Amino acid sequence: MAELKLKNIKKIYPNGFEAVKDFSMDIDDKEFIVLVGPSGCGKSTSLRMIAGLEEISGGQLYIGEKLVNEVTPKNRDIAMVFQNYALYPHMTVYDNMAFGLKLRKRSKAEIKEKVNNAAKILGIEDLLNRKPKQLSGGQKQRVALGRAIVREPKVFLMDEPLSNLDAKLRVQMRAEIIKLHHKLKTTFIYVTHDQTEAMTMGTRIVVMKDGVVQQIDDPQTIYRHPANKFVGSFIGSPQMNFIDSKIIEANGKLYYEIKNKKIEIEEDRAKILRDKLYIDKIVTLGLRPDAIEVRDKNDSLEAVVDVTEMLGSEMYLYLDFDGNNVTVKVDPSYKVEIGKKINFGFKAKKVHLFDSETEMSIL
C-alpha cells in the first residue's frame, strides 16, 4: 500500500526527444489510475519511469515518503505486468509465480502459501503444473498477474496487459482486474490506449497527448467536462462530433449561426459566452451522438445519411453534414434509408463548447 507523488516529471531520451513533459500528480493509496492516450503520447514511458526501468530526466518521484529517482526497480516495492506476459517458457506455472520469491530467498513454506493463495484469487489452482505453452492467452495473463501478486508490492504497474487477448476475453479480464484491485487494496497504475478500459477501470484517468497531461479526473468528470477538444474526442464512443459556429446576437438573444441557420442558445451557455466575450466569434460545438436528435424544426440542419450501424439496443446514423461527419444515436426502431436527406438539431444542455483557436473548453 502506498501513495505516489510525481513532481514535474520529465523524460528526454538520449536522442533529445522529449517524451514526457512536466507530469505532476499525487496518487492516493488504493487508487486505480489509468494513463490513456494515443500511440506515442508518453504513457509507457511514464509508467517505466515509475517502475525504474527508464531513467527520470527531471523532477522527483516519491513512492510513499521516499524519493525514488535513483532507487533500482527491485527496491521500489512495485510489480509490473507487461503486455507480452514475460513468462519463463521452461518453468511451470508454479515456478513462474514462485521465481521472484525464490530470488528473495523466502522459505519454501512461505512461497507455497503465497503461490497457492494467489492461484486461488485468480482461479488457476488447476494449472500450477503446466508450462506456459499449454495455456491460453487469458490463462497466461492470470499467471503474469499471479507472479505480481505473490510479491505483495505496494504498487501494481500494468502496461496494456489485455491487448493480446481477443475482445471477449478482454472484457472478462477487465472485470477480473477490477475485482483484483478490490481484493488486494493496493495502488494500481494501468496503461492503455483504449478509452473504454480507462473509463471502466480507473478511479481516476490521466489523458495524455504528445507527452503532455491533458486532464486528470474521475471518469464521469472527464466524460462530462472534457478540458479540451482532444479529451472530448478521445473519451467516449462513438466519438464526439465537432461543428464550428459563429456566435451572434439578435434581439437581445444569442444564437449559434451554422450554415445560415440560427439556433437559439440556452441561457447558461449564453451567459458564459457573453461573459467571456465570444459574441461574433467562432466557437467549436462538441456534440456527443446522444446530444443530437433527428428532428424537423425551423432551426434544424440538413444532412445526408451515409451509413447506419445497428447494435441491437441502440442504432447510430453516420451523417454527411456538408462534408463533415456527424454521428447520431437513435432508437433502434428508427426507419431510415441510406442516401436520404435528414434534419437534425441538438439538445441545448448537452452542447460542449471549445475555443476554436486554443481548443480549450469554454464552459
Between residues 44 and 356, which has the closer beta carbon with respect to ligand ATP? 44
Secondary structure element (H or E) that encloses residue 233, with its range: helix 229-234
* Cβ 322 to ligand ATP shortest distance, Å: 34
Per DSSP, the three-state class of 287 is strand
Binding of ligand ATP at residue 42 (CB under 6 A)? yes
Judging by DSSP bridges, how do beta strands 352-355 and 282-287 pair with one another? Answer: antiparallel
* Cβ 9 to ligand ATP shortest distance, Å: 12
Binding of ligand ATP at residue 13 (CB under 6 A)? yes
Q: Among residues 168, 172, 170, 165, which one has the least CA distance to residue 137?
A: 165
Ranked by CB distance to ligand ATP, the top (closest) residue is 44
Binding of ligand ATP at residue 82 (CB under 6 A)? no
Between residues 37 and 289, which has the closer beta carbon with respect to ligand ATP? 37
Judging by DSSP bridges, how do beta strands 32-36 and 204-209 pair with one another? Answer: parallel
Binding of ligand ATP at residue 214 (CB under 6 A)? no
Judging by DSSP bridges, how do beta strands 58-63 and 155-159 pair with one another? Answer: unpaired
Q: Among 2, 45, 80, 223, which residue interacts with ligand ATP (rule: CB under 6 A)?
A: 45
Please say whether the beta carbons of 245 and 282 come within 8 A.
Answer: yes
Secondary structure element (H or E) that encloses residue 58, with its range: strand 58-63
150 grid coordinates: 505473490
Between residues 18 and 306, which has the closer beta carbon with respect to ligand ATP? 18
**Residue 271 main-chain phi, psi, to 5 deg:** -65, -45
State which of positions 14-33 bind ligand ATP (CB under 6 A): 15, 17, 19
Q: Taking the CB of residue 39, how many other CB atoms lie within 10 A of it? A: 7
296 grid coordinates: 424537423
* Cβ 180 to ligand ATP shortest distance, Å: 23
Binding of ligand ATP at residue 43 (CB under 6 A)? yes
Between residues 39 and 72, which has the closer beta carbon with respect to ligand ATP? 39
* Cβ 363 to ligand ATP shortest distance, Å: 28
Q: Among 10, 40, 95, 212, which residue interacts with ligand ATP (rule: CB under 6 A)?
A: 40
* Cβ 143 to ligand ATP shortest distance, Å: 23
State which of positions 155-194 bind ligand ATP (CB under 6 A): 193
215 grid coordinates: 486532464
- The DSSP result for 165-230, as a single string, is S-HHHHHHHHHHHHHHHHHH--EEEEEES-HHHHHHH-SEEEEEETTEEEEEE-HHHHHHS-SBHH
Q: Among 36, 41, 184, 205, which residue interacts with ligand ATP (rule: CB under 6 A)?
A: 41
Binding of ligand ATP at residue 44 (CB under 6 A)? yes
* Cβ 222 to ligand ATP shortest distance, Å: 17
Which residues lie near ligand ATP (CB under 6 A)?
Answer: 13, 15, 17, 19, 37, 39-45, 193
